[in-house]
Amino acid sequence: MTSLRSAPFSIITGAMLLAQGPVLQHATPRADSIARVVVNDNRRPAGRLRAGVLTLRLDARLGDWHPDGEDAPGATVPAFAEEGGPARIPGPLIRVPAGTEIALTIRNTLEHSLTLRGLYDRSATPSPGRTPPGSIELAPGASRTIRFRLDAPGTYYYYGSTAGQTIDWRSGDDSQLTGAIVVDPAGRRVPADRVFMFGVWSDTAGRVLAHRTRILAVINGRSWPHTERFEFNVGDTVRWRLMVSTIASTRAVTAYATRRTHRRSGAWRTPNG
């Protein structure tokens, strides 16, 4: 049986790494007391699910992030954390069966106001023309408890901004304040899939198309070539949920989706395989 060893996301080197300098060259100054960010592979759901209610407590806090590897230079950025746990990039995964009610408490420990979006009901029968609810605003040091239902199976996201930005064109310090929401069909076994979140981070520009000297494309908190490696056999079924946390990284998703199944001499190939 023919096997394939490759890094499927390697195509981001051409499709997504838009900057002239693709790696962190110097560490951003940070306080020694700031804990390291844990890179989140989106395998473990956050919170406690009991009797149809997921109880979850999140903090928005600063973390010491090392997207190029733990021994490489890092940067201090805002990130989401489950209360009592480490900050994670991407943020803690919310994964529940359809029909689950979410009881979420979010606390802003940052020095800036925090705007949250994506934490609202996902109805199985949405009303025509209905627009998503507005944002949630949290002042520094403030916390808030919200409740919402996730009825419609699908893949969603939540995110925060300290600059009032929406999901498009986020590439600054707060661009990693994003987490996945996965709603599985009720009464079925959770599929053996993977959740991957694409993002862009730049410490020199508010917009990714502006002039910059350092920019990183990341997948689940890691930059190429520090992303995960995979090995599959011909004929394997692989289920991935690909999510985009900034509009600039849609190029990578498009490139990967259109090139991942190129076939040559009986073996499935990725573009660099």
The amino acid sitting at 184 is: D
Report pTM: 0.78
pLDDT for res 132: 66
Q: How many domains does the chain have?
A: 1
**What is the rounded CA–CA span in Å between residue 13 and residue 31?**
32
Check: CB of residue 138 under 8 Å from CB of residue 116.
yes
In terms of residues, how long is the chain?
273
- Domain of residue 132, CATH code: 2.60.40.420
For residue 218, pLDDT beyond 70: yes
For residue 47, pLDDT beyond 90: yes
Tell me which DSSP letter residue 148 carries: E
Least confident segment among 26-30, 144-148, 172-176, 240-244 = 26-30
For residue 53, pLDDT beyond 60: yes
Q: Please name the residue that has the structure tokens 């943020």.
A: 91
Within 141-251, strands assigned E span: 143-150, 154-161, 178-184, 194-202, 215-219, 222-223, 230-233, 240-244
Q: Please name the residue that has the structure tokens 């929401």.
A: 181
Element (H, E) at 253: helix 250-259
Confidence of residue 164 (pLDDT cuts 50, 70, 90): confident
Longest dimension (CA), the chain: 59
**What is the rounded CA–CA span in Å between residue 119 and residue 181?**
9
Structure tokens at 17: 């790494």
Check: CB of residue 109 under 8 Å from CB of residue 141.
yes
Structure tokens at 170: 């986020």
**What is the rounded CA–CA span in Å between residue 262 and residue 131?**
39
Range of the domain at 114: 3-269
